[in-house]
Amino acid sequence: MNTLNSTHEPSLTSWIESANSKETDFPIQNLPFCVFQLLDQPPAIGVGIGDQILNLRTCAELGLLSDQFNDAASQTTLNAVMAMSPADRTLLRARLSELLANGTTADKSVIEKSLVFQANANLLMPCHVGDYTDFYASIYHATNVGTMFRPTNPLLPNYKHIPIGYHGRASSVVVSGTSFHRPVGQLSPTEEGGIPTRGPCKLLDYELEVAMFVAQGNELGNSISIADAEDHIFGMSLLNDWSARDIQKWEYQPLGPFLAKSFATTISPWIVTLEALAPFRCREFARPEGDPQPLDYLHSDENSSSGGVDMKLEVFLCSEKMNQQGIEPVKLSSGNFTNMYWTIAQLLTHHSSNGCNMQSGDMLGSGTVSGLTRDSRGSLLELTWDGASDNPVPGSQRTPITLPTGEERKFLGDGDEVILKGYCESDSHRRIGFGTCKGKILPAKVEA
């Protein structure tokens, strides 16, 4: 899957001029998948190209694709495309690249009938997410959070041996641009043995994550080997795992996060394929040389040599006041997906290693992507170091954030919009962007 082919050739350009701009997220080397909708029309599958979308259903209708792809290309979700064999996915990508490349032998006037401007399209959930699993794969995040709650013992003994993960709520995964209300929930009693209260979350946070989507699945009782794992990953998007820290603190023992997370999880609408990411695969990830080797089922040489993805990740915030005053969103942090302790292949292989059946469209979250330095921490909990806690950890450096309006943030306020961005870039290859993942917080609903 990771071998470079002509679709990655940096000199390849498109006859769609906006795709040739150095700044675009969507050059012809990317071709990320999406599901979009035009007014009064049914949803359709597309790929992003510059500032436009190539409508795959229209392509199928116009005879631009090989017949074998017509059914999958005409669906209203990506699940059928995801379920195709790796070889077919490669064929489809090559054909789409061919249609959009300068010098295409296809009739451009026909292809143009399949193009729509992104500005005119409503981007929808890209696929039906059957199951959503969230991992905890950044050792810096795990160490930061562990230090706040267990200063003497931040990293649990299992962390370096087993990719820690838990099941998330699939129904409340929403696409970028969906606003949601601040959740209401039970909050800890103020004194030991006291009665909890119920009210709007006071410690609302984001978590910067990357999502992986399952391509072909496995039957219940089988597992996906580490050597095969990447063939089973269709692509990646950005994910914001909104977290109600106060609700979480009270509810999560002994069975893990529940209502603190299930009110909303936002993903970006574009799924960037592993094929598009091939030039940015790297050795680097956050498992130092001296650390224990993964057990055999999680180990492969290929995985070690190119298990990482050199993907830059950024978080921006825009408060309502900033928005009203026309102030641009401020950058809160920037990190890199190489800060993962576990590779994407290891996450998928571990997940299926007990025979659990993965299905096309299932979503695996990486867990918060945090790096070693303060400016690469992927949540407010870490950035402000438990900033709003009534009982801060002794010795902790509480560092609230001041916005350009003079507003202070320890956690998120009503009207705040959080914007995630992600992109891969290098001197030798075209930029591969993920677009944006946005979500805005509406005030809590007043209860009857």
Binding site for its own copies (CB under 8 A): 130-131, 136, 146, 156-158, 161-162, 164-172, 174, 180-181, 183-186, 189, 192-193, 195-196, 198, 220-221, 225, 244, 247, 250-259, 262-264, 292, 295-297, 350-351, 353-359, 362, 445, 447-448
Distances from the Cα of 106 to the Cα of 16, 64, 186, 388, angstroms: 14, 8, 60, 59
If you search the block for the tokens 């292949």, which residue do you land on? 345
Nearer residue to its own copies within complex by CB, 109 or 158: 158
Closest separation between CB of residue 185 and its own copies, Å? 5
Exposed / middle / buried, residue 296 (Cβ in 10 Å: 0-12, 13-18, 19+): exposed
Closest separation between CB of residue 167 and its own copies, Å? 4
Number of H helices, E strands in the chain: 12, 26
Closest separation between CB of residue 99 and its own copies, Å? 35
State how far the Cα of 375 lies from the Cα of 236, in Å rounded to an integer: 23
Closest separation between CB of residue 251 and its own copies, Å? 6
Nearer residue to its own copies within complex by CB, 259 or 418: 259
State how far the Cα of 71 lies from the Cα of 50, in Å rounded to an integer: 26
Closest separation between CB of residue 363 and its own copies, Å? 12
Identify which of 160, 186, 143 has the alpha carbon closest to the alpha carbon of residue 378: 143
Q: Which residues neighbour 112 within 8 Å (Cβ) at sequence distance 6 or greater?
A: none
Tokens of 209: 């994550």
Closest separation between CB of residue 255 and its own copies, Å? 4
Is the Cβ–Cβ distance between 66 and 33 less than 8 Å? no
134 DSSP β-pair partners: 166, 365
Q: Tell me the CA end-to-end span of the chain in Å, nearest whole number.
A: 55
Asked whether the CA dihedral 54, 56, 57, 63 is positive or negative, the reply is positive
- The yes-or-no answer on residue 141 being catalytic is yes
Nearer residue to its own copies within complex by CB, 53 or 127: 127
Is the Cβ–Cβ distance between 370 and 376 less than 8 Å? yes
State how far the Cα of 131 lies from the Cα of 169, in Å rounded to an integer: 8
Nearer residue to its own copies within complex by CB, 79 or 97: 79
Closest separation between CB of residue 183 and its own copies, Å? 4
The widest CA-to-CA distance across the chain, in whole angstroms, is: 75
Q: Choose the catalytic residue: 8, 128, 141, 299.
A: 141
Exposed / middle / buried, residue 178 (Cβ in 10 Å: 0-12, 13-18, 19+): middle
Strands (E), 250-400: 265-267, 272-273, 281-282, 308-309, 312-318, 330-336, 363-365
Nearer residue to its own copies within complex by CB, 251 or 416: 251
Closest separation between CB of residue 89 and its own copies, Å? 22
If you search the block for the tokens 């699993």, which residue do you land on? 133
Nearer residue to its own copies within complex by CB, 277 or 347: 347
Other C-beta atoms within 10 Å of 155: how many?
14
State how far the Cα of 225 lies from the Cα of 311, in Å rounded to an integer: 25
State how far the Cα of 20 lies from the Cα of 12, in Å rounded to an integer: 9
Question: Which ranges of 262-300 does DSSP label H, i.e. alpha helix?
Answer: 274-277
Nearer residue to its own copies within complex by CB, 243 or 336: 243
Is the Cβ–Cβ distance between 292 and 161 less than 8 Å? yes
Closest separation between CB of residue 300 and its own copies, Å? 14
Instruction: Catalogue the active-site residues.
Output: 141
